[in-house]
């Protein structure tokens, strides 16, 4: 790791930008300007990412989303996944999938996989309140690539996910009005692309602190037309997360930026969106107030109409920018 930082430092000096030396400290970072940012890996260890690094596109191909793995959890198998393989009807028919039940899909972010804690956190919350099909998407083959490669894999990963869901519905039943797609960080943009692939029919899409670096103005980013209702929960805006109000409803708890209450760094603030969402599924106690503009949200000055942040209500609808304050510890 030390050699890696030294080499990057040499490159940075040649490029006229000083490399950040303190792992995890992104106080230098300016969205759309800075070359370097510290990002947490699956073990929450800060990794230095060069956002100007040329992506080796040879590791990608048009079928990169075909490497997705789909793990089904239900109340009959709440912790032991059943693997459903796209186009393998036996894997679908022999599973506990029930087309009459709601379907929730969870997608992890960069340098994560299906075993990363946020999946179980949200899965368990959902199964505690709803008899549902929960599918965790494991796209580790590209999520564990260098960040610039993972960014470029997102559209295909999402498109293959959309095709998989269509196949499931065609062969085992389902209703798009009972579908909730949830993604964290890069996963938020994955579920956006999945929703787009199926014509915006999913009832709900929730982006948990959608990834920011390389996503401002990116046509593949999550957007409000990707589902019937698209919600974004921003907790580390202008750093690891995007600050732009990209959904129909955009929530900015505690100003939407680092540091979130109880957090000491961007990694904690970024991941806080997962915990707030899981808590909202179980308790539905986060009351957002509509803001006149983003500046009001950043400064916790919103006093408009109420809209609950998160929760598991499939027919939830709303539009606008919303601010709220939370606590520092579970259930926040």
What is the set of active-site residues? 185, 209, 270
Note every long-range contact of 255-264, with CB atoms under 8 Å and residues 24 or more positions apart, other chains counting: 255/297, 255/298, 255/299, 255/300, 255/323, 256/297, 256/298, 256/323, 257/298, 258/26, 260/235, 260/236, 260/326, 261/326, 261/327, 261/328, 261/332, 262/327, 262/328, 262/329
- Determine the Cα–Cα distance for residues 34 and 78; give it in Å rounded to an integer: 43
Closest C-alpha among 242, 257, 175, 174 to residue 207: 242
Structure token pair of residue 31: 């969205």
Rounded to 5 degrees, φ, ψ at 64 are -65, -30
- Determine the Cα–Cα distance for residues 25 and 39; give it in Å rounded to an integer: 10
Strand runs labelled E in the chain: 36-40, 46-50, 69-74, 77-84, 103-107, 133-138, 179-184, 204-208, 230-233, 249-253, 287-290, 306-308, 320-324
* Residue 276 near residue 235 (C-beta atoms within 8 A): yes
Structure token pair of residue 144: 């564990």
Alpha helices in the chain (DSSP H): 2-15, 89-93, 117-129, 140-143, 147-172, 186-197, 266-283, 294-298
Query: Does a cis peptide bond (omega within 30 degrees of 0) precede residue 258?
Result: no
* Residue 19 near residue 9 (C-beta atoms within 8 A): yes
Q: Do the bridges between strand 69-74 and strand 133-138 make them parallel or antiparallel, or are there none, so unpaired?
A: antiparallel
How many beta carbons lie within 10 A of that of residue 107, not counting itself? 33
């Amino acid at each position: 790791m030390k050699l890696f930082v030294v080499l990057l430092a040499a490159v940075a000096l040649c490029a006229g930008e000083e490399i950040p030396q303190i792992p995890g400290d992104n106080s230098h970072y300016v969205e759309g300007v800075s070359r370097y940012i510290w990002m947490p890996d699956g073990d929450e260890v800060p990794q230095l990412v060069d956002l100007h690094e040329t992506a080796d596109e040879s590791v990608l191909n048009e079928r990169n989303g075909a490497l997705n793995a789909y793990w089904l959890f239900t109340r009959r198998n709440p912790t032991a996944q059943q693997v459903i393989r796209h186009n393998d009807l036996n894997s679908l028919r022999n599973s506990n999938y029930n087309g009459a039940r709601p379907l929730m899909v969870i997608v992890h972010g960069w340098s994560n996989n299906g075993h990363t804690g946020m999946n179980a956190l949200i899965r368990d919350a959902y199964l505690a309140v709803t008899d549902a099909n929960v599918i965790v998407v494991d796209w580790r083959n590209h999520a564990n690539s260098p960040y610039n490669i993972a960014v470029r894999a997102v559209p295909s990963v999402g498109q293959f996910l959309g095709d998989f869901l269509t196949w499931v519905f065609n062969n085992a039943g389902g209703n798009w009005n009972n579908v909730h797609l949830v993604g964290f960080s890069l996963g938020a943009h994955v579920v956006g692309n999945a929703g787009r692939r199926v014509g915006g029919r999913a009832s709900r899409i929730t982006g948990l602190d959608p990834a920011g670096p390389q996503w401002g103005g990116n046509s593949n980013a999550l957007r409000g037309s990707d589902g019937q209702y698209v919600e974004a929960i921003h907790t580390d805006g202008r750093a690891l997360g995007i600050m732009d109000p990209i959904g129909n409803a955009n929530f900015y708890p505690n100003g939407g930026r680092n540091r979130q209450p109880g957090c000491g760094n961007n990694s904690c603030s970024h991941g806080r969106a997962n915990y707030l969402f899981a808590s909202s599924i179980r308790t539905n106690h986060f009351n957002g107030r509509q803001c006149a503009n983003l500046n009001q949200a950043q400064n916790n000055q919103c006093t408009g109409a109420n809209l609950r942040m998160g929760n598991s209500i499939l027919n939830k609808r709303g539009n606008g920018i919303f601010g709220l304050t939370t606590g520092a510890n579970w259930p926040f």
